[in-house]
């Protein structure tokens, strides 16, 4: 009985580690050929099993290492997607000598924790509130401007940050409200973070309400928003900085963002 159970387990479970960054080795055990929303649910159970909530305060400290800039300026200061200037030197930087917010009156005053998936939607509950893979260090002032708007694309911005992130009316088809548009360098990073969130919390997210959400546990996001995220995921492929952050996140909270390790799984789940 025991032997045959082992045989069954062995035959249905194969490592799927092709092309994955070394830190992911052995983390995903996925049945061959699994695809669509079944793949998403399988990933959900893997991500949940590994996940240890380290609390909200610990994030500020871990960012000093996990988000250190070894890619753009290479100066070891924090990569803030809302102020990083990939092709020029940054107009301001944060490192271990800076205080986290606090109050702010302008850009560069202090940094805090930006919830890519706004925390008001889940009423600041755990473990979502402190989940490393969607909570990023960012300038407090720009974070405030992003507010809880969906992401989108803006032609005539009402406001622009020092690195070119924009707030204004959405011009991407399907929604006409106010949105926040990050710079091109981080569009894929943000898309993959939101795909992670939709997967990790698929058993709760269908009960929540926001412009991005369609009230389902499988597709999770509205059609226009899925189209936007797919576009961003394809135009901004996984970067060295994302891979490093993913490995640091694994060490920190015990799970990973599967869409950084396997970008093709975004297509297998949401493509078409
Ligand atoms: Ca930098
Ligand atoms: Ca990127």
Say if residues 129 and 76 touch (Cβ distance below 8 Å): no
- In whole angstroms, what is the distance from residue 209 CA to residue 226 CA? 16
- Closest ligand to C-alpha of residue 82 is 1
Predicted confidence at residue 21, as pLDDT, reads 58
Distance (angstroms) between ligand 1 centre and the Cα of 132 equals 20
CA separation, residue 5 to residues 1, 9, 12, 33 (Å): 6, 6, 11, 21
Predicted confidence at residue 102, as pLDDT, reads 87
- Closest ligand to C-alpha of residue 182 is 2
**Domain parsing of the chain, residue ranges:** 35-270
Distance (angstroms) between ligand 2 centre and the Cα of 81 equals 9
Predicted confidence at residue 160, as pLDDT, reads 98
Distance (angstroms) between ligand 2 centre and the Cα of 236 equals 5
- In whole angstroms, what is the distance from residue 272 CA to residue 267 CA? 8
Distance (angstroms) between ligand 2 centre and the Cα of 238 equals 6
Predicted confidence at residue 99, as pLDDT, reads 83
Cα angle for residues 176, 217, 53 (degrees, 5° grid) = 100
- Closest ligand to C-alpha of residue 238 is 2
Distance (angstroms) between ligand 2 centre and the Cα of 22 equals 20
Across the chain, which has 272 residues, the per-10-residue mean pLDDT values are 43 39 86 95 98 97 97 96 96 92 94 97 98 98 98 98 98 97 98 99 98 98 98 98 98 98 98 88
Distance (angstroms) between ligand 1 centre and the Cα of 125 equals 31
Nearest to 244, CA basis, from 260, 258, 266, 263: 260
Distance (angstroms) between ligand 1 centre and the Cα of 236 equals 18
Distance (angstroms) between ligand 1 centre and the Cα of 84 equals 5
Strand partners, 29: 15
Q: How many residues does the chain have?
A: 272
Predicted confidence at residue 11, as pLDDT, reads 38
Predicted confidence at residue 23, as pLDDT, reads 83
Distance (angstroms) between ligand 1 centre and the Cα of 257 equals 23
Distance (angstroms) between ligand 2 centre and the Cα of 187 equals 6
- Closest ligand to C-alpha of residue 72 is 1
Say if residues 121 and 210 touch (Cβ distance below 8 Å): yes
Distance (angstroms) between ligand 1 centre and the Cα of 67 equals 10
Distance (angstroms) between ligand 1 centre and the Cα of 80 equals 7
Residue 127 preceded by cis peptide, ω within 30: yes
- Closest ligand to C-alpha of residue 90 is 1
Q: At residue 30, what are phi and psi to the nearest 5 degrees?
A: -120, 130
**Residues lying with their CB under 5 A of ligand 2, a single-atom ion:** 188-189, 236, 239
- In whole angstroms, what is the distance from residue 256 CA to residue 254 CA? 7
């Amino acid at each position: 009985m025991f032997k045959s159970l082992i045989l069954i387990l062995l035959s249905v479970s194969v490592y799927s580690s092709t092309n994955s960054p070394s830190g992911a080795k052995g983390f995903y055990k996925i049945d061959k050929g699994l695809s669509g929303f079944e793949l998403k649910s399988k990933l959900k159970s893997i991500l949940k099993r590994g996940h240890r909530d380290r609390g909200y305060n610990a994030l500020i400290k871990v960012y000093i290492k996990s988000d250190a800039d070894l890619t753009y300026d290479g100066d070891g200061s924090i990569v803030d997607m809302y102020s990083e200037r990939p092709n020029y030197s940054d107009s301001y930087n944060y490192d271990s000598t800076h205080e986290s917010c606090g109050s702010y009156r302008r850009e560069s005053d202090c940094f805090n924790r930006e919830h890519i998936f706004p925390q008001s939607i889940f009423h600041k509950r755990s473990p979502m509130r402190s989940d490393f893979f969607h909570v990023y260090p960012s300038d407090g002032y720009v974070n405030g401007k992003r507010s809880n708007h969906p992401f989108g694309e803006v032609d005539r911005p009402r406001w622009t940050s020092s690195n070119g992130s924009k707030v204004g009316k959405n011009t991407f088809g399907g929604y006409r409200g106010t949105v926040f548009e990050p710079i091109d360098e981080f569009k894929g990073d943000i898309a993959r973070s939101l795909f992670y969130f939709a997967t990790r919390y698929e058993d709760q997210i269908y009960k929540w309400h926001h412009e991005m959400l369609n009230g389902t546990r499988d597709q999770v996001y509205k059609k226009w928003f899925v189209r936007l995220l797919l576009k961003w995921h394809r135009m901004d492929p996984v970067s060295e900085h994302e891979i490093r952050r993913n490995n640091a996140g694994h060490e920190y909270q015990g799970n990973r963002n599967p869409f950084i390790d396997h970008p093709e799984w975004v297509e297998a789940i949401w493509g078409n």
